[in-house]
């Protein structure tokens, strides 16, 4: 897939997008001009992806609990079983449910 995209880029004309869309994609980190998104600290593989969890967090305006769930779904950490991520997701969900039951549900939109 990556090779096909690279081949297409070599033979495709330049594309113009609306400036407001460009600014939004840049804010979300999908279009980036810094090194921050080009590597990971640790064993996760987010930097290999076009859209990283940070972009989803920003675009969807997630609270820390929901953001953590997205992060764990998206990652593939070397040396760690995927089942551990799902156990952590359940733990996070149980904590979020505790908060909602104790303090009431609010609309995050």
pLDDT higher than threshold 50 for residue 61: yes
Query: Is 81 inside any structural domain?
Result: yes
User: In this predicted structure, what is the pLDDT of residue 35?
Assistant: 80
Average pLDDT, stretch 19-43? Answer: 82
Average pLDDT, stretch 32-51? Answer: 73
Query: Is 108 inside any structural domain?
Result: no
Q: How many domains does the chain have?
A: 1
Query: Is 109 inside any structural domain?
Result: no
Task: Specify whether the CB–CB gap between 27 and 58 falls below 8 A.
Answer: yes
Query: Is 80 inside any structural domain?
Result: yes
Please state, as a whole number, how many other Cβ atoms lie within 10 Å of the Cβ of residue 19. 8
pLDDT higher than threshold 80 for residue 45: no
- With a threshold of 0.85, does the pTM exceed it? no
Query: Is 56 inside any structural domain?
Result: yes
pLDDT band, very low/low/confident/very high, at 52 (cuts 50, 70, 90): confident
Domain limits for position 82: 2-103
- Which residues of 26-93 form beta strands (DSSP E)? none
Query: Is 36 inside any structural domain?
Result: yes
Q: How far is CA 75 from the centre of its chain?
A: 9
Closest CA to 74 of 97, 100, 93, 54: 54
Query: Is 72 inside any structural domain?
Result: yes
């Amino acid at each position: 897939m990556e090779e096909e995209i690279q081949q297409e880029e070599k033979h495709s004309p330049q594309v113009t997008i609306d400036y407001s869309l460009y600014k939004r994609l840049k804010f979300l980190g999908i279009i980036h001009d810094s090194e921050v998104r080009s590597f990971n600290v640790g064993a996760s593989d987010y930097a290999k992806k076009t859209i990283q969890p940070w972009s989803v967090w920003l675009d969807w305006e997630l609270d820390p609990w929901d953001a953590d769930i997205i992060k764990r779904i998206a990652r593939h950490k070397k040396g760690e079983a995927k089942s551990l991520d799902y156990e952590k997701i359940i733990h996070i969900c149980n904590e979020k449910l505790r908060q909602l039951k104790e303090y009431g549900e609010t609309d995050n939109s």
